[in-house]
């Protein structure tokens, strides 16, 4: 009986030793399969391929006022109309020669408009292409006319019925052409010929505030471009 008790105690002692050994080895390096799984994990850099998380704190800070002494750098707003064409300086406009008379103005000389941006249009009231520009010329005048800008019509008759000054006045009144109009001498049409090597009705020149030709357009169309060009030249004048 005593011998069996001793044997049992010895057996319990051996079992305890085994358990203690197993517990002691539980914090050791992982087995080979676990180690392989760890080494096969993707590198940290691959995380940038995923969609970044929203940082609420950063977003909130974007609208916050800068700290004392700090400056926020913002690009200045642009006022240049995307339709604005190139406006190279083509030199002073040709001399404006004597005309038969001026109507719809107290001016008697072209020089009296010096210092303004000018839209000088050569036209004649019987020309269908000229008539097509009336709405645009009215809009241009309504939008910009004043201390900085003026439209000047130069009426150069093509046919004999267009030579009557009263008929020009009536055409201007009927079509809302309220700006100053220079009436060319029918026989010479001096400015119509001296300002143009090749002569067209209608033809529009934009003159800057310093008296330089900056834009030249023949015929109808390009209305947004012309509008933008006038705005740019007025801004240039007032810069």
> pTM higher than 0.75, yes or no?
no
Q: How far apart are CA 164 and CA 227, in angstroms?
A: 31
Total structural domains in the chain?
1
- Indicate whether 27 pLDDT > 80: no
**Residue 142 domain flag:** yes
Lowest-confidence range among 30-44, 54-68, 165-179? 30-44
CATH (domain of 163): 3.40.30.10
Considering the domain boundaries, does residue 144 fall inside one? yes
13 lies in some domain? no
**Domain contains 5:** no
Within-domain flag for 173 = yes
Most confident range (mean pLDDT) of 1-15, 32-46, 93-107 is 93-107
Residue 90 in any domain: the answer is no
Task: State the chain's mean pLDDT as an integer.
Answer: 78
Read off the tokens for 29.
């390096």
Least confident of 40-44, 146-150, 204-208: 40-44
Residue 71: inside a domain: no
User: Is 176 inside any structural domain?
Assistant: yes
The CA distance from 229 to 225, in Å, is: 6
The per-residue DSSP string of 101-132 comes to: EEESSS--SGGGGTTSEEEEEEE-TT-HHHHH
pLDDT in tens, 85-132: 999 999 999 999 999 999 999 999 999 999 999 999 999 999 999 999
Residue 196 is part of which domain span? 114-238
């Amino acid at each position: 009986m005593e011998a069996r008790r001793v044997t049992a105690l010895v057996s319990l002692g051996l079992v305890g030793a085994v358990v203690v050994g197993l517990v002691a080895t539980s914090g050791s390096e992982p087995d080979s399969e676990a180690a392989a799984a760890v080494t096969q994990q993707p590198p940290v850099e691959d995380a940038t391929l995923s969609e970044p998380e929203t940082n609420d704190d950063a977003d909130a800070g974007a609208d916050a006022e800068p700290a004392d002494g700090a400056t926020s750098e913002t690009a200045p707003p642009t006022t240049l109309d995307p339709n604005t064409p190139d406006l190279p300086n083509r030199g002073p406009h040709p001399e404006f020669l004597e005309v038969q008379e001026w109507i719809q103005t107290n001016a008697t000389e072209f020089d009296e408009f010096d210092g303004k941006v000018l839209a000088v249009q050569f036209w004649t009231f019987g020309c269908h292409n000229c008539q097509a520009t009336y709405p645009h010329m009215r809009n241009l005048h309504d939008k910009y006319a004043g201390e900085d800008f003026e439209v000047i019509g130069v009426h150069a008759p093509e046919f004999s019925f267009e030579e009557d000054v009263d008929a020009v006045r009536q055409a201007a009144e009927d079509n809302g052409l309220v700006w100053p109009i220079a009436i060319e001498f029918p026989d010479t049409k001096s400015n119509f010929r001296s300002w143009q090597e090749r002569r067209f009705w209608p033809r529009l020149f934009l003159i800057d505030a310093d008296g330089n030709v900056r834009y030249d357009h023949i015929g109808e169309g390009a209305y947004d471009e012309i509008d933008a060009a006038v705005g740019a030249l007025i801004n240039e004048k007032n810069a």
